Chain A
Amino acid sequence: DTAVSQTPKYLVTQMGNDKSIKCEQNLGHDTMYWYKQDSKKFLKIMFSYNNKELIINETVPNRFSPKSPDKAHLNLHINSLELGDSAVYFCASNRGRNTEAFFGQGTRLTVV
């Protein structure tokens, strides 16, 4: 009955590979997000997506792309992985701007 679930929890991969992280929410929320948390714990928004609108943080490299097959899923695909992509990636969702966000457990990505 997990509200926001991400898979995998850990991902170790080599530079240059392509990988995906999956996210699903069963809360019926309209909006989903991807955040990147660096080694200093800073949370940086990467994407937000609802039924009608994708907002991309312009600082995110275009090697990163969100894919949403339906309202309950927002997957993150990363091409040509680099060492600097190593971080913890969090998926989150909420119903609107005056409601709290619910977070997944995170995916720790290590690029070697």
Chain B
Amino acid sequence: AQSVTQLDSQVPVFEEAPVELRCNYSSSVSVYLFWYVQYPNQGLQLLLKYLSGSTLVKGINGFEAEFNKSQTSFHLRKPSVHISDTAEYFCAVTISGGSYIPTFGRGTSLIVHP
């Protein structure tokens, strides 16, 4: 079965600083990878996804992520964060040819300070 590890439960950062949120997955087969954001008291919404092709994926709100198959990682990055980026971020995976149920990591709380 697949699994997802988000290595940091909380990432504090100052406004306009760069940020990286880490995600590693475990699967013996090809995967599809997703990053979602959850603002307070709201549901999850998609930031970006990797299905195939270019390993660098660009998403909404200036976020991007890079798929690294050898390191089984899909880290999320933003070069300059805003206060409004404060939220919970979830990495998720589904596997090719297997269970279609998305498996989520435990989430990383991004806290942007002024």
Residues of A within 8 A of B (CB): 4, 31, 33, 35, 40-43, 45, 48, 55, 90, 92, 94, 96-98, 100-101, 103-106
Given contacts A98-B32, A106-B43, contact A41 B106 (CB under 8 A): yes
Which among A41, A42, A43, A106 has the highest number of chain B CB atoms within 10 Å? A43
Does B104 interact with chain A (Cβ within 8 Å)? yes
0 or 1 for each of B56-94: is its CB under 8 Å from A? (1 = yes): 000000000000000000000000000000001010101
Q: Which A residues are in CB contact (< 8 Å) with B92? A: 101
In the complex, 30 of the A-B residue pairs with CB atoms within 8 angstroms, ordered by the A residue number, are A33-B101, A33-B102, A35-B104, A40-B106, A41-B38, A41-B106, A41-B107, A41-B109, A42-B104, A43-B90, A43-B104, A43-B107, A45-B101, A90-B43, A90-B44, A94-B102, A97-B32, A97-B94, A97-B96, A97-B98, A97-B99, A98-B32, A98-B94, A100-B34, A100-B36, A101-B34, A103-B36, A103-B45, A104-B43, A105-B43
Chain A residues near B44 (CB, 8 Å)?
90, 92, 101, 103
Bound CA–CA A96/B100 (angstroms): 7
A48 touching B104, Cβ below 8 Å? no
Q: Is B17's CB within 8 Å of the partner chain A?
A: no
Q: Decide: B46 and A100 in contact? CB cutoff 8 A.
A: yes
Query: Shortest CB–CB separation between residue A82 and chain B, in angstroms?
Result: 23
The chain A residue with its CB closest to the CB of B44 is: A103
**B99 contacts across to A, CB distance below 8 A:** 55, 97
B54 within 8 A of A: no
B interface bracket (residues with beta carbon within 8 Å of A) = 20 to 34
Q: Which 6 A-B pairs have the closest CB atoms?
A: A103-B43, A97-B100, A97-B94, A43-B104, A100-B46, A103-B44
